[in-house]
Amino acid sequence: MISSAVLPEALHQVRSYMDEMFSLIHPTSFYERGIPERHRLIFYLGHVEAFDWNQICRWTLGKPSFHEEFDQLFEAGIDPEQGTLPLDQPSDWPSLDEVLEYNRRVREEIDRCVDEAPTDILHIAIEHRWMHVETTAFIFHHLAQNAKYTPTLPTPPVISPPVHEMLEIPEGFTTLGSDVSDKFGWDNEFNGYETVVPEFLISKYKVTNGQYLQFVHEGAAPPSFWFQRGGAWFLRTMFGECPLPHDWPVYVSQSEAQAYATWAGMELPTEAQFHRAAYGTMNGEERLFPWGNEWPKGIHGNFGLKHWDPVSVTAHPAGESDFGVAQLVGNGWEWTSTLFHPFEGFTPHATYPGYSTRFFDEDHYVVKGAGPQTAVCLLRRSFRNWFRPNYPYAHVGFRCVQNGS
């Protein structure tokens, strides 16, 4: 979690990073859709600024609006069912220059009054931006290559191939959510509780492209990130393509993950099983290993925006849980079989009541862990993410479990 003393600095940091991301988009491509069901890119350029303005200045500090139309136009995104396509046209949106000027004015106004804003509102603004860094990365991934500029890319580490095995997780307690009321968290993280998880087996590694390829050979549809050329399989990376890396985690929808697990005679883990598998101890307290800002990004996992793409599932052995389960944090979020529901006693946040409540609909599943573009401030044990089961565009993989009889 970000210290309250450095919140204004943290806001500037994430602004700068998001500016760098948007600078990778060709100016003529802001009116395209990277994901057919989502808004055009121009919306996301204005959304994070309008969100900050509405949260900090309008709804909290009572500042008068200087552009009410944009405040509403860019206020909230959409989460349509798969195949439900928006009907808007590029001409329905303001010009790029108009949006950039709105953004400039918003930042100027916020910077004047940022010291007046409550710390929880600043936390919301900062973490919301970091989440949209990741959302933008999903969209970038599905843009045509000529719509974006390619930055300097790090060389992925060369790692030994995985030896797949199932690890035994003994029965024990685990904690879901958080009950620490004096630290920032999103509304769905509270009120945490402890539960007993019966023993089970879990795969040491996330399911790889190589493992999933066997499923495809037996008739399953390929993931949305794959394509075939000349009889060979390739992976669509963030800024290009490469022969399918068999030791990288496969990114799929929850429905595809569930189908694979059924084919393999196994199941997807519950949210509680994920927590239990990630068990570790620090100063005598349960934690999800190695979640926390004190852990060096480059050693314990592929998160914190060091890589645009995945790396081998055998990378970062220092990030294994006490049970030896690898990469529970980083290199791709992980699907669970748990529907996204509130914990008992749920209370929506006053200025952002729809953050969680509009997704408690029996049609979104909890995902845990982190992806390559997940910011370090989100790597807390209680953080919960979620998507629709047929959503194929996010950087989400999975692993399988075998439950006792």
Angle between helices 41-52 and 119-141 (to 10 degrees): 170
What is the distance between the alpha carbons of residues 64 and 92, in angstroms, rounded to a whole number? 26
pLDDT tens figures, 7-66: 999 999 999 999 999 999 999 999 999 898 889 999 999 999 999 999 999 999 999 999
The CATH class for the domain spanning 166-403 reads alpha beta
Numbered ranges of CATH 1.20.120 in the chain: 4-147
With a cut of 90, say whether residue 289 has pLDDT above it. Answer: no
* Burial degree of 236 (CB within 10 A; 0-12, 13-18, 19+): middle
Task: Report the SS3 class of residue 384.
Answer: coil
* CATH, domain range 4-147: 1.20.120
Residue 405: pLDDT band (50, 70, 90) is low
For the chain, the first-to-last Cα distance in angstroms comes to: 40
At position 92, the amino acid (one-letter code) is D
- Provide the percentage of residues in the chain whose pLDDT is more than 90: 79
Helix H, strand E, coil C: the string for 292-357 is: CCCCCHHHHCCCCCCCCCCCCCCCCHHHCCCCCCCCCCCCCEEEEEEECCCCCCCCCECCECHHHH
pLDDT score of 262: 98
Radius of gyration of the chain (CA): 21
Sign of the dihedral defined by the CA atoms of residues 371, 377, 383, 388, in that order: negative
Helix/strand/coil for 99: helix
Residue 130 neighbours by CB under 8 Å, 6+ apart: 14, 374, 375, 377, 378
User: Where are the domain boundaries for CATH 3.90.1580.10 in the chain?
Assistant: 166-403
Question: pLDDT digit string (tens) for 133-151?
Answer: 999 999 999 999 999 999 9
Percent of the chain whose predicted confidence (pLDDT) is above 70:
93
